[in-house]
Amino acid sequence: VPSTFTYKIADLSLAEAGRHQLRLAENEMPGLMALRTEFGETKPLLGARIAGSLHMTVQTAVLIETLVALGAQVRWASCNIFSTQDDAAAAIAVGPTGTTDAPAGVPVFAWKGETLEDYWWCTAQIFDWSAEAASAGASWTGPNMILDDGGDATMLVHKGREFELAGAVPADAAGDSHEYGVILAALRKSLAESSDRWTLVAADLMGVTEETTTGVHRLYELAASNELLFPAINVNDSVTKSKFDNKYGIRHSLPDGLNRATDVLIGGKVVFVAGYGDVGKGAAEALRGQGARVIVSEIDPINALQAAMDGFQVARLESVVEQVDIFVSGTGNFNVIGVDHMLRMKHLSIVANVGHFDNEIDMATLESLPGAVKVQIKPQVDEWRLPSGRSVLILSEGRLMNLGNATGHPSFVMSNSFTNQVLAQIELYVSPEKYPVGVYVLPKLLDEKVARLHLDALGVELTVLTPEQSAYIGVPAEGPYKVDHYRY
Ligand code: NAI
Mean pLDDT confidence for 60-72? 98
CATH number of 265-355+358-398: 3.40.50.720
Mean pLDDT of the chain: 96
Residues flanking ligand 1, CB < 6 Å: 212-214, 242, 245-246, 249-250, 274-280, 297-300, 303, 330-333, 336, 354-356, 400, 402, 409
If one compares 393 and 3, the residue with the highest pLDDT of the two is 393
User: How far apart, in whole angstroms, are the C-alpha atoms of residue 250 and residue 253?
Assistant: 5
**Protein residue closest via CA to atom 35 of ligand 1:** 355
> Of the residues 279, 314, 316, which should be mutated to test ligand 1's pocket, given the most ligand atoms within 8 Å of the CB?
279
Q: Flag whether pLDDT at 271 surpasses 90.
A: yes
State the closest ligand 1 atom to the C-alpha of 254, by its place in the atom list counted from 1: 41
Among candidates 19, 127, 12, 123, which has minimal Cα distance to 78? 123
Q: How far is the CA of 409 from the centre of ligand 1 (A)?
A: 16
Q: Flag whether pLDDT at 81 surpasses 70.
A: yes
Mean pLDDT confidence for 223-237? 98
pLDDT per position as a tens digit, 162-197:
999 999 998 877 766 667 889 999 999 999 999 999
Q: Tell whether residue 416 is among the known ligand binding residues.
A: no
The pLDDT assigned to 1 comes to 44
Task: Return the domain boundaries, the chain.
Answer: 12-240+409-445, 265-355+358-398
* Residue 3 pLDDT class (50, 70, 90 cuts): low
State the closest ligand 1 atom to the C-alpha of 354, by its place in the atom list counted from 1: 41
Q: Flag whether pLDDT at 212 surpasses 60.
A: yes
* Residue 75 pLDDT class (50, 70, 90 cuts): very high
Mean pLDDT confidence for 223-246? 98
User: How far apart, in whole angstroms, are the C-alpha atoms of residue 479 and residue 481?
Assistant: 5
User: How far apart, in whole angstroms, are the C-alpha atoms of residue 258 and residue 380?
Assistant: 11
Among candidates 199, 319, 326, which has minimal Cα distance to 271? 326
Mean pLDDT confidence for 55-70? 98
Q: Tell whether residue 339 is among the known ligand binding residues.
A: no
**Protein residue closest via CA to atom 33 of ligand 1:** 213
Say what percent of the chain tops pLDDT 90. 96
Q: Flag whether pLDDT at 93 surpasses 80.
A: yes
pTM over 0.95: yes
> Of the residues 53, 210, 212, which should be mutated to test ligand 1's pocket, given the most ligand atoms within 8 Å of the CB?
212
The pLDDT assigned to 246 comes to 98
Q: Tell whether residue 276 is among the known ligand binding residues.
A: yes
pLDDT per position as a tens digit, 113-160:
999 999 999 999 999 999 999 999 999 989 999 999 999 999 999 999
Q: Tell whether residue 325 is among the known ligand binding residues.
A: no
CA angle 96, 119, 182 (to 5 degrees): 165
Mean pLDDT confidence for 265-293? 98
User: How far apart, in whole angstroms, are the C-alpha atoms of residue 45 and residue 128?
Assistant: 19
Q: Tell whether residue 275 is among the known ligand binding residues.
A: yes
Q: Do domains 12-240+409-445 and 265-355+358-398 have the same CATH topology?
A: yes
Mean pLDDT confidence for 451-457? 98
* Residue 4 pLDDT class (50, 70, 90 cuts): low
Of the candidate CATH numbers 3.30.750.80, 3.90.1150.10, 3.40.50.1480, 3.40.50.850, the domain formed by 12-240+409-445 belongs to 3.40.50.1480
The pLDDT assigned to 2 comes to 46
Please state, in angstroms and as integers, the Cα–Cα distance from residue 70 to each residue in 49, 67, 188, 426, following that order.
12, 5, 37, 9
